[in-house]
Amino acid sequence: AQSVTQLDSQVPVFEEAPVELRCNYSSSVSVYLFWYVQYPNQGLQLLLKYLSGSTLVESINGFEAEFNKSQTSFHLRKPSVHISDTAEYFCAVSGDWKAAGNKLTFGGGTRVLVKP
């Protein structure tokens, strides 16, 4: 079985400050990792994904995440946040194809509030 833990339920941060959202996963098989963002009253949008290759993945809007297999982590970072980054961020894992098809297992979410 797979599981995902997001260690912080809320992260307040000032505009232009850096932010790190922590994500740890548990799985008995090789995994694929995702970060999704949910803006208020909207659906989920894919922010970035790790499938294979380089362990550092980047998004077009300045976020990056690093896959660390030994620490079973996939933390999300941004060096300088904007007010528009206020949202809830979800870490997700998939990979147990035989047992679970292509389902995503989500963490509990981290609510980021960017203050001016």
Partner 1 sequence: DSGVTQTPKHLITATGQRVTLRCSPRSGDLSVYWYQQSLDQGLQFLIQYYNGEERAKGNILERFSAQQFPDLHSELNLSSLELGDSALYFCASSSGGTGPNEQFFGPGTRLTVL
- Binding-site ranges for partner 1 (CB under 8 A): 32, 34, 36, 42-46, 49, 51, 90, 94-95, 97, 100-109
Q: How far is the CB of 48 from partner 1 (least distance, A)?
A: 11
Toward partner 1, which CB reaches closer, 19 or 37? 37
Cα 115–Cα 74–Cα 84 angle in degrees, nearest 5? 25
Pick the closer one to partner 1 by CB: 73 or 105: 105
The owner of tokens 């147990």 is: 96
Contact between 26 and 77 under an 8 Å Cβ cutoff? The reply is no
Q: What minimum distance in Å lies between the beta carbon of 103 and partner 1?
A: 4
For residues 63 and 89, the answer to whether their CB atoms sit within 8 Å is: no
Between β-strands 110-115 and 10-14, what pairing exists: parallel, antiparallel or unpaired? parallel
Q: Least distance (Å) from partner 1 to the CB of residue 77?
A: 21
Nearer to partner 1, 9 or 80 (CB): 9
Pick the closest to residue 64 from 21, 11, 14 (CA basis): 21
Measured from the CB of residue 21, what is the shortest distance to partner 1 in angstroms?
15
Specify the residue, 46 or 113, whose C-beta has the smaller distance to partner 1: 46
Could you count the other beta carbons within 10 Å of the beta carbon of residue 50? 19
